[in-house]
Structure formats: structure tokens, C-alpha cells
A and B are shown apart, each in its own frame.
Chain A
Amino acid sequence: MSGNDNLVTTDDAADVAVANEAVKRRLGWGFWFCIGWIVLMIIVAFLAPYLSIKDPNANFIDMSGKGRPPYGPSMDHWFGTDKDARDIFSRTLYGARISLTVGFVAIAFGLLVGGTLGILAGYFRGWFDRIISFVFVILLSFPSLVLAIMLTSLIERSLLTISLVLGVLSIAPVGRLARASTLQYADREFVTAARQIGATNRRIILRELLPNVVIPMGALALLGMAVAIVAEGGLAFLGLSVEKGITWGSLIQLGSEGSTTLQKSPWIAFFPIFVLFFTVLALNFAGDRLRTYLDVKESAL
């Protein structure tokens, strides 16, 4: 948009073009396949205790002469067992609970806080915008894993705190996007019009700006969830995530610790890796498709 676009109504032509394109744009079967996998994972995470799968913490020591655990994959234990003879399949399913919860809570927190700060900064500008933008720069000036590790060193590592730490990490990227898209809309005619007829700031933000800003942020949500799940996996892998509980990261860590575990019983690490990878891939792919579908500019990210 050029500087004096208040006078020139170029927007109409663009809107028509978008409307025509909408017919051609489809999300495609790949998108729905990915959504299907994500939904499946969510259902599994919710229903894990009620499904007729094995107890994830029970030790299934085999007495029929298979020797000492770990046991490889079999009809009895689809994904095999770890060195304490615990069933990897049910542990992987249970792992979805923490990993998905953390991913969801983190991005929800990031959207709420980052989105609010970004919109306010973009709308009011001035000194408030400067402070908020500087805070975003500080947050972004850290490799996120380093920041996460530092924060986890200061707190009790529970499900809630880990989710919030990862949520804090998503504040800056989400906030920058919210600010950028608010800036884009704050000078448009419909906002000026709303102000002229006496709408309060609160009403303008909630009724005029929010509906426009929410769309690009929503497209970011799936990608953000993938990032949070990977980050949680990384923390768990380093032994810095939720202290008691099964997560995909800690399962993978268990399968690769020591010098011989990976060599002698690769299934312990590889089945959780596969599930984690597929979930992250699905979130990434679906998020990417959604972003293209909703036409969110990459430069705004």
C-alpha cells in the first residue's frame, strides 16, 4: 500500500481478484489428512486412560525364557518394551497427553499475551509501542532454547510452568505479527470512520481491528503449536521438562541414553521419534497450507 491510499480505492480491485481466486484455492487432501492425524492424536491423548491399552508404568517381565528386557516389538508389545519392560506403545500414547497439552497451552498463552500486547502497541504507538517493541527484541535476541533452559532453572518444573515458559517464548513472534497487521489496518478507512462516529478505543480494537488481526494469527497457531511441541521435546530430552510424567522427549531420551541402548534396542527411541515427527510434520504442513489459503504474507512474520 502506498502512502496516500486513503484517496485511491485500489482495494476494491484487489478484493475482486481475491474473490475469484478463492474458487481455485483449496486446502487439498494433504491438509485434511494432517488434520486427521492431529485429531487422532488429540483423541488418543484425551482417552488414553479409557482405551484398553497396557498400563504405561507396569513392568511386563517375560517369564517364558525371552531373557532380560528390553524386548523387541511383538504381537504383545507392538512397539516393544524399554529396559524396565514397560510397553512403549502405551507410553507413546500417554506421551501425547503432556506433549499436546504443553503445545496447546503454550500457543494459547502466546496468542493471548503476545496478541494483546502487539495490537495495543500497533494501535496506540508512541512510547508504549517503543517499550513493547524493545521487549520483543530482547525476547528475540535470545536463542529460544537457551531462554527456555534458563527459565526452567528458576521454577518448579510442572506441566503448567513448562507450558507457560514455552508460552513466554511465543509472545515475541506472535506479538510482532499482531503489531504488524494492526499497523496495516489502523489507518484504513473503516477505522477512521468508526472513530469519526465516536467509537471508543476499546470498541475500535475489539470490533474493528481484532477480527482482521485474528486471521493471520490463527494461521500462525498451528505452526506455533508445532514449535512448542518440539521445544518441549528438546527440554524433556535434556531432562528439563515436566519432572514426573511421560513425554515424547523423555521417551526418546530414554531410548538413546548410555552407549549401547540405541545400538541394541533402537525401537525404544525410534517409535516415539516417528510419532513425534509425524505430529510435528502434520502441524507444520496444515499450518503452512492454512497460511497460504488465508494468504498471510511471509514478510509479516
Chain B
Amino acid sequence: MRFWLQRVAMAVLLLLSVSALTFGAMNILGDPLFNILGPVAGDVNNPDSVKLIEKAKAEFDLDEPLVVRYGLWLSDFVRGDMGVQFSSDGQPPVSDLIKERLPRTATLVLLAQLMAISIAIPWALVTASRAGRLSDRISTMNTFFLVAMPNFALAIILKFVLSIKLGWMPLTYVANDPLSSRLWQMVLPALTIALPVAAVFQRLLRTDLITTLQQDFILMARAKGLSRRRVLFRHALRPSLFSFITVVGLNTGALIGGSIVVETIFRIPGIGSSLVESVLREDFPVVLAIVMIVAVAFVLINLLVDILYSIIDPRVRR
């Protein structure tokens, strides 16, 4: 029980620091009043502008000290109210924007994660059982290429080959299409994110499998007369999955980072492309909300991985 409490307390502390740092940086380094009003913010001699400035200050509590504003923001955020967009009329509220866009990004990341895992496991099984042979060496070279390939470059190459030249895949995402075709439109973007991640997973799992396959109990299983395939699936795979699970959790960051780029290329209106747009518009409430959502997701997933890990292997609880 103490183990869980410690983990959760750490996660909460982490999120608080992240939000405080982000909030502070944005208010100290940026100029919120200017971001809300634009050039009007500097026009203090014109009574009309002053009226606007006063109104904006009252609306966004800009006269309060930073700590108070952080407290206000935090209490709103925890209750699900992420404030108003800075852009001219403030519509729609940030929460609505996120509510509309988050499911798309979540679907994309989930799809990518599933693809990465379902590519990596068979790939690792095949290469580990033929370790050192030509096919394994070629596969190692391929993982090297995939890991070195920047995700935006991979996206363009896949888009060019599969969508433009071969015409197998749809080019872009259309938000109004029915669900099934939207899912189909997500396959190529998800594959773009998944391939390099699958290569990372495969490298790790292959190494672990090779180590496991040298254990005595594998020899024992083979000596009992079980087939290679059965030994591989039933005996070797499970004990090799430990560090795989950790890496799957840790790599969620790479997936989210990948989704930002991929959403931009394939025009998926998710929170990733929203982040880029709002950064270019200097719309800080949106940026802050998205950063926090990503941080929460990241922390939760890693917490989940820790929990999962300690269920599979109770020794880590100490």
C-alpha cells in the first residue's frame, strides 16, 4: 500500500511542478495582455483602449499576483474549466476545443501503439529464433534505418508511396466523414508513428528473447519434445515481456510527439496540430491546457506501467 501511495504522491507533485513552471514561464516570459488584445495593449493614451485594457484585466484577473492567478487557474482546471482562448472573441472555450479534438489524437495514439506492439512482437519472435542469420542481420539494418528516419520524413515518404503513387490509402483526414472511413484515414498516420516505435520495441524484445532462449528451462522444454514454435510462444515470450512493458510505457512520449507532426501532415484536427496553431497564435491558455493534458496522460500511463509491472513481478515493490 505504501508503494502505491508513494507513486501517486510523486505523480501529483510532478504534475503540480510541471503546471507551475509552465504557467509561470508563460506569464513571465510572455505578455498576456498583449496576447489578448494585440497592439491595443500598448495604447494607454487612448481612452477607448484603456477601457478595453481594464476589461481584459478584470476578465483574466491580470492585476492579481502570479501565485493567486496560478491558484485560480489550477482550481478551474481541476474542475474541468480550462479558461477562455486569448484570440479575439474567446470562443469556443478551451475545454470545448479540447473535448472536440482530444478523441482524435487519442484514437491516433492508441492505434499507433497497437500497431507498434503487433508489429514488434512477431518481428522479434521471428528474428530472435533466427538470431545471427542473414534475415536477422537484414532486419537489424532495417531497424537502424527506421530509428534514424525523422518522423516527418517517414510521413512524407509513406504518403508519397502509398497514397500518391499507389493510391492505396486516403491522402488526408476529413472530419465530417462517417466513423469507419475516418478510422481508415487514420491508418497511414498511425503507421507512420508506429514504425519507428516498433523498431525500438523489436530491438529490445529480440535481445531479451535471445537471453531467455539460452536459459535451461528452454532446453528442458525442447528436450521434452515440444516444438520450437510452442517453446517460443509458450515458454520464451512471457518472461521476456518485462522490460518490453516498461519501454512501451516510456515510449508513449515518442508517440505523442510523433502525433503532433503527423497530425499536421495528414491534416488531422487533433490536439497536436492545435498545439502548433496556438503556439503560432501565442494563444497561451490553449498551449497550457494541451501541455497539461499531455503531461497528465504521460504520468498516468507511466503510473499504470508501474502498477502493471508490480503485478507481474512483485519483487519491484520491495
Contact = CB atoms under 8 A, between A and B. Distances in A.
Nearest to A253: B152
Those 3 A-B pairs whose CB atoms lie nearest each other, nearest first: A145-B257, A143-B253, A153-B279
Nearest to B260: A145
| Interface residues of B, dominant DSSP | helix
B82 to A, nearest CB: 16
B17 interface: yes
Given A138-B14, A142-B253, A277-B150, A150 B291 contact: yes
Contacts of A277: 148-150, 153
Interface in B257-303: 257, 260-261, 264-265, 275-276, 279-280, 282, 284, 287, 290-291, 294-295, 298-299, 302
Interface stretch (B84-92, B127-135, B154-162, B304-312): B154-162
Contacts of A138: 14, 17-18, 21
B279 A240 contact: yes
Chain A CB count within 10 A is highest, among B156, B160, B265, for B156
A234 B155 CA distance: 12
Contacts of B77: none
Contacts of A226: 148
B254 interface: yes
B239 interface: no
Given A256-B159, A266-B160, 11 more contacts: A142-B294, A150-B287, A234-B150, A237-B264, A238-B264, A249-B152, A256-B156, A273-B156, A273-B157, A284-B147, A285-B148
Contacts of B3: none
Nearest to B149: A277
Contacts of B284: 153
Chain B CB count within 10 A is highest, among A145, A152, A230, A252, for A145
A281 B148 contact: yes
A233 B153 CA distance: 9
A154 B29 contact: yes
Contacts of A280: 148-150
A142 B156 contact: no
10 contacts: A137-B14, A142-B291, A145-B257, A152-B279, A153-B284, A234-B150, A255-B156, A256-B159, A256-B265, A281-B145
A155 interface: yes
Interface in A242-301: 249, 252-253, 255-256, 259, 262-263, 266, 269-270, 273, 276-277, 280-281, 284-285, 288
B144 interface: yes
A140 B136 CA distance: 33
A249 B164 CA distance: 21
A238 B261 contact: yes
A149 B17 CA distance: 18
Contacts of B256: 143, 145-146
A144 interface: yes
B304 to A, nearest CB: 14
Interface string A148-170: 01101111000000000000000
B50 interface: no
Contact of A273 (B17, B153, B252, B282): B153
B221 interface: no
Nearest to A279: B148
A5 B21 CA distance: 43
Interface in B161-176: 164, 171-172
**Range of interface residues on B (Cβ < 8 Å):** 35 or more
**Range of interface residues on A (Cβ < 8 Å):** 35 or more
A141 interface: yes
B113 interface: no
Contact of B257 (A144, A233, A255, A270): A144
A155 B147 CA distance: 30
Contacts of B14: 137-138, 141
B25 interface: yes
Contacts of B240: none
Nearest to A154: B29
A252 B253 contact: no
Contacts of A154: 25-26, 29-30
A149 B152 contact: no
B156 A269 contact: yes
